[in-house]
Structure 1
Amino acid sequence: MKKLTLLGLGSILLLAGSSKAGPLIDFEASIGAIQQKPRGYVSYEAESDNDRIDVKKDANLGDKTKPWVKLKLEHPIPVLPNVKLSYMPMKFDGSGNVARTIKWGDNRYDLSADFNLSVKLDRVDTTLYYNLPFIKTATAGKLDVEFGLNVRTIMFDGKLSGRESCTGQSISESKSITLPIPMGHLATEIRPINQVSLVGELNYIGYRKNTYYDYAVGLRLNSHGFVQTTLKPFVEVGYRYEKLKIDEEGVKTDLKVKGLYALVGVRF
């Protein structure tokens, strides 16, 4: 997936540079790194709250730093939405021992013996959006507001390995789900001067027992005004917070993942 994403990014950059897209078509591509600090719990086929595994207190899941790739295309056709794509891998591993027995899937685990927990939440975002009419023109490019629909496809995998409570034998069980989650999307860019922008975005959905949202806020330094080239480089640093509370196919989670991020990119 990483190789395909990076290959796609390189292909779009090459295509855009060679085709000399018109001034009404804007491309943006960026790549960088993001901290991922998990908190909360995860369970599979739990019978009570006792079967939840706290990812920090029980399993000691470690913080990670992962890549983040983003692409964006805006065009002048009023009816058709603009498009954003992004890819972010997310995987945590940890181990521990706590004085209790839990049910995970079809088995009961004795957590007083050493156990290992792995949680993967890779995701691909496909966002279709429109710019709020007249705002960018009315503010001479100092404010841009986007709204639309983001479909986040999450590839979840949770695996628990440890000792069976009755027999003492080593056991392991995992659960995988691919969840396409539609979310409302809102983003903004405030540019008081050409060289500096404040950027932010929010994705949200709530239904039944599920609540899922994330937001990111950042400061972007643009080369516009410093370098007169077709490619306009930028650097962005910021903070991202995500809450994932789901109850699907026996999997229950209430996870929070937060951390700083840094991106480098180009507009053209």
Structure 2
Amino acid sequence: MKKTVLALGLAAMMSTSAQADTLLGLYIGGQAWASKASGSFGDGSNNQSAFDFNDEVQGSFFVAFEHPIPLIPNAKISSTTLDTIGGTQVAKSFNFNGQTYSSNATLDTTLEASYIDYTLYYELFDNDLLVFDFGLTARDLDTYIKVAEPATLYTSDLSASGYIPMAYLSTVIGLPFTGFNFFAEANFITYDDQTVYDAQAGISYELIDNLAVDVDLTFGYRTVKLELNDLDDFYSDLTFDGFFAGAIVHF
């Protein structure tokens, strides 16, 4: 259940530097993310079990398209995959989608999750020293969870999907004459016992910088929180975090 998507982003507003984009610009980027997963899930707020998940390398991709027209929001589409497997020995009986597993049962799980973020945002600053964006994101989340007890061959699975509205913030701070930049980006929301966020921060290096194409290498740390309360009968308190490396190409 993986989504690989290119991302469109319209960007250009209140430009404060001659270096800001004045014509159409296309950004294509991606990253490989060595994520560690932890937490619990179940089919009720009081019926969750914690699992030990495997570390996995996840993928994330985006495309952005910029223009100089004022008042029209920028747009960004990005895709992220979160897949892992795990296991646990439950201390008490555990129900999952109609199947009851007895206490002390040894369970395996397969967790597949992916989401596409549709973001509309504005640039408050756009120059070599500071870029600051703010906006709104609609996260299209798909999950599939399978639980199995090898000793009895009992299995149960659940698919859940839905849209999650989120706030969006992004900033880049330039280090003059070095080719390096600090960056940070976050989508987040918290409401009704639910907290969902996707935040990353790191450093980029301008490998190529000319009139035809710019290429930046990126390295940083990313964390994703999925504390969900009744998304198609799915409840979770999951965290994915770890270091990533990637690249961004600007035409």
Scaled to the shorter chain, the TM-score interval is 0.7 to 0.9
**TM-score, normalising length from structure 2?**
0.85
Specify which of 126, 134, 148 is matched with residue 161 of structure 1.
148
Shift of 1:207: 1.7
Asked if 1:238 corresponds to 2:220, the answer is: yes
Specify which of 191, 208, 221 is matched with residue 192 of structure 2.
208
Shift of 1:263: 0.8
Shift of 1:187: 0.4
Q: Confirm or deny: 8 A CA contact 2:50 2:88 kept in the other structure.
A: no
The residue type paired with residue 199 of structure 1 is F
Shift of 1:91: 1.0
The 1:65–1:4 alpha-carbon spacing in structure 2 relative to 1, beyond 3 Å, is closer
Q: Matches of residues 150-189 of structure 1 in structure 2 within 5 Å? A: 150-162=137-149, 169-189=152-172
- CA offset digits 1:107-148 (Å, max 9, x no partner): 21125343211112211111111001xx33xxx531111000
Shift of 1:100: 3.0
Give the structure 2 partner of residue 198 of structure 1.
182
For 1:32 and 1:185, the matched residues in 2 are separated by 19
For 1:229 and 1:161, the matched residues in 2 are separated by 55
- CA offset digits 1:242-264 (Å, max 9, x no partner): 21111113321111110111111
- CA offset digits 1:47-99 (Å, max 9, x no partner): x4xx321122xxxx101001211211221111221111111111111234344
Contiguous gaps of at least 5 residues in structure 1: 10-21
- Which has the larger strand fraction? 2
- Which has the larger helix fraction? 1
Larger Rg: 1
Specify which of 250, 261, 266 is matched with residue 233 of structure 2.
250
Give the structure 2 partner of residue 17 of structure 1.
none
Q: Confirm or deny: 8 A CA contact 1:38 1:55 kept in the other structure.
A: no
For 2:189 and 2:92, the matched residues in 1 are separated by 35
Question: Aligned-pair RMSD on alpha carbons?
Answer: 2.3
Q: What is the DSSP-based 3-state SS (H/G/I as helix, E as strand, rest coil) of the residue aligned with 1:95? A: strand
Shift of 1:229: 4.6
The residue type paired with residue 266 of structure 1 is V
Q: Confirm or deny: 8 A CA contact 2:122 2:134 kept in the other structure.
A: yes
For 2:91 and 2:2, the matched residues in 1 are separated by 39
Give the structure 2 partner of residue 55 of structure 1.
51
- CA offset digits 1:12-48 (Å, max 9, x no partner): xxxxxxxxxx9522221112201221111111146x4
Asked if 1:83 corresponds to 2:75, the answer is: yes
Give the structure 2 partner of residue 12 of structure 1.
none
Give the structure 1 partner of residue 10 of structure 2.
none
Give the structure 2 partner of residue 18 of structure 1.
none
Give the structure 2 partner of residue 73 of structure 1.
65
The residue type paired with residue 63 of structure 2 is L
| Identity over aligned pairs, percent | 25
For 1:261 and 1:114, the matched residues in 2 are separated by 32
For 1:121 and 1:216, the matched residues in 2 are separated by 19
Asked if 1:37 corresponds to 2:36, the answer is: yes
The 1:3–1:110 alpha-carbon spacing in structure 2 relative to 1, beyond 3 Å, is closer
Asked if 1:108 corresponds to 2:100, the answer is: yes
For 1:29 and 1:235, the matched residues in 2 are separated by 12
The residue type paired with residue 163 of structure 2 is P
Moved more, 110-119 or 198-207: 110-119
Contiguous gaps of at least 5 residues in structure 2: 8-20
Shift of 1:193: 1.8
Q: Confirm or deny: 8 A CA contact 1:212 1:245 kept in the other structure.
A: yes
Q: What is the DSSP-based 3-state SS (H/G/I as helix, E as strand, rest coil) of the residue aligned with 1:223? A: strand
Q: Which has the higher contact order (CA 8 A, sep 6+)?
A: 2
**TM-score, normalising length from structure 1?**
0.80
The residue type paired with residue 128 of structure 1 is L
Q: What is the DSSP-based 3-state SS (H/G/I as helix, E as strand, rest coil) of the residue aligned with 2:27? A: strand
Q: Confirm or deny: 8 A CA contact 2:31 2:60 kept in the other structure.
A: yes
For 2:211 and 2:70, the matched residues in 1 are separated by 28
